[in-house]
Amino acid sequence: MNIPQLIDFTEASLDAAFASVRNEAEAAVAAPGFEAEQFRLEWLGRKQGHLKAISDAWLKAAPPEAKKLIGQRFNALKEQVEGFLIAASAGAVVKPASAGLDVTLPGSSQRVGVEHPLVKTMAEIVGVFQRMGYSVGLGPEVESDFYNFEALNFPPNHPARDTQDTLVVAEQEGKPLRERLLMRTHTSPVQIRSMLEQAPPLRLVIPGKVHRNDAADATHSPVFHQVEGLCVDTNITFSDLKGTLDHAMKAFFGSAVKTRFFPSFFPFTEPSADVQISCIFCGGKGCRKCKYSGWIELLGCGMVDPAVFEAVNQRRIELGHDPVYDTRRISGFAFGMGVDRIAMMKYGISDIGLLYSGDMRFLEQFA
Ligand code: DAH
C-alpha cells in the first residue's frame, strides 16, 4: 500500500487521509477472493501490516503538536479495521460505502416449504365444517383415563376399551384409575373438555393426532390423525346428522358423491352409525379400491349418548359449574374420521408409513 507523507496537519486533511485508508480496508474485505487470515496479516500484522506502516509514517514521524490529533484518528482506524475483519469472518456482508448495487450478481434464493399432505387434508376437512359455522377445538395428546374413556361411557374393564389398543404412560398405578395418564386413542375426549368449558349450543370440529399400540404396516401407524365433530343444541336430530355429513362429504369429495348409513356401536353415541361414501374411484360401479362393492367406509357417528351429558354435568358440578347439559332440553350428534386414510385416498398413497417417514423424495411431490 502506498502511504503518502503527511504535510498538512489540519483536522480536515487528517480526516481525509485516514478516511482514504479506511475505505481501502473496507474495499479489501468486500473484494472477491477475500481471505480473513490474509487480510489480518496484511493489515494488522505486527511487523509488516499496513497499520504498522501508518503508525511509523504518520504517528511516530508527526510533529509533537499534531501527535494527539493523529493518535486519536489512528486508534479509531485500528478499531474500524478490526471491526471489518470480525464482521467479514462472521459471514456478514461488508459493502464499501462507495460501491453501488451490482444487479448482475446472482440472487440468494430461499427454498419455500409446503404443507405436509396430512396437514393440508386436515385443514381442508376442517374448512368444510368451518364454512357451516363450526369452531375449531383442540386438546392434549397426553390424556387421562377420565376424558379418553370414563366420561365417554367406556366403564372400567368394559370390552369396548379393548378396541382402542391404548398406549399408557408408565408408573401411573398409584393413582385412581380416572387420573391415570395415557396417549389419547381418539379425538373424542376433546368433546368432554369442550362441554366442561362451554354451555350449549356448541358446534365444534376437533382435528388432532392420536396414538394406538398398532404394529406399523401399509395401513396402520401407531400415530395417526382424526377429525372429530360435535354439535349440541335444542332439537338436534339424526336427520341433522345425516344432512350435515352428506353435505360435508359432497363438499370435500365432489357433489356426485353419495352417502349411506349403517347401524354400528360406539359407547358414547346412541344410536351409532358407520358412514360409507360411494367409491370416489369408480363412481360406485365397483373396482379394486372399493373391493368391488362400490362403497368405501369412511367415518363413525351417532347421537350423543345421554350418559355422556350426565358425565359432563357431574364433572361440571365437581368443578363448580352449572350442570347445563339438560338431556330433557338438548340433544346432539358427533362424528369422527381418520385423516390419514382420506389423505391416502385423495393422493393415491399406498403406504401410510410414507406420511411419517420425513423422506424428501416423497414430500417434494406435494410441492
Ligand atoms: N372415536 C371413534 C374412534 O376413534 C370415532 C368416532 C366414532 C367418533 C363415532 C365420534 C363418533 O365422535 O360419534 O374409533
Q: What pLDDT score does 81 carry?
A: 93
CB of 302 closer than 6 angstroms to any ligand 1 atom: yes
- Ligand 1 centroid to Cα of residue 335, in Å, is 6
- Tell the residue nearest (CA) to atom 4 of ligand 1: 186
Q: Which atom of ligand 1 is closest in space to residue 269's alpha carbon?
A: 13
CA–CA gap between residue 183 and residue 212 (Å, rounded):
8
166-213 pLDDT per residue, tens = 999 999 999 999 999 999 999 999 999 999 999 999 999 999 999 999
CA–CA gap between residue 228 and residue 126 (Å, rounded):
9
Q: What pLDDT score does 325 carry?
A: 98
Q: What pLDDT score does 94 carry?
A: 54
Residue 225 to residues 119, 121, 154, 200: CA-CA distances in angstroms?
Answer: 9, 10, 21, 27
CB of 267 closer than 6 angstroms to any ligand 1 atom: no
Name the stretches of the chain with pLDDT < 50.
none
Q: Which atom of ligand 1 is closest in space to residue 229's alpha carbon?
A: 12
CB of 166 closer than 6 angstroms to any ligand 1 atom: no
Q: What pLDDT score does 114 carry?
A: 87
Q: In this prediction, what percent of the chain has a pLDDT beyond 90? A: 82
CA–CA gap between residue 230 and residue 203 (Å, rounded):
6
CA–CA gap between residue 142 and residue 99 (Å, rounded):
58
88-143 pLDDT per residue, tens = 877 666 555 556 788 888 888 888 888 999 999 999 999 999 999 999 999 999 99
Strands 135-136 and 259-266: unpaired
Q: What pLDDT score does 96 carry?
A: 56
Q: Which CATH number fits domain 117-361: 3.30.930.10, 1.10.3720.10, 3.20.20.70, 3.30.70.2610?
A: 3.30.930.10
- Tell the residue nearest (CA) to atom 14 of ligand 1: 186
pTM: 0.72
Q: Is the peptide bond before 201 cis (omega within 30 degrees of 0)?
A: yes
Q: Which of 134, 184, 228, 337 to mutate to test the pocket of ligand 1 (most atoms within 8 A of CB)?
A: 228
- Tell the residue nearest (CA) to atom 7 of ligand 1: 300
CB of 184 closer than 6 angstroms to any ligand 1 atom: no
Domain ranges for the chain:
11-89, 117-361
CB of 334 closer than 6 angstroms to any ligand 1 atom: yes
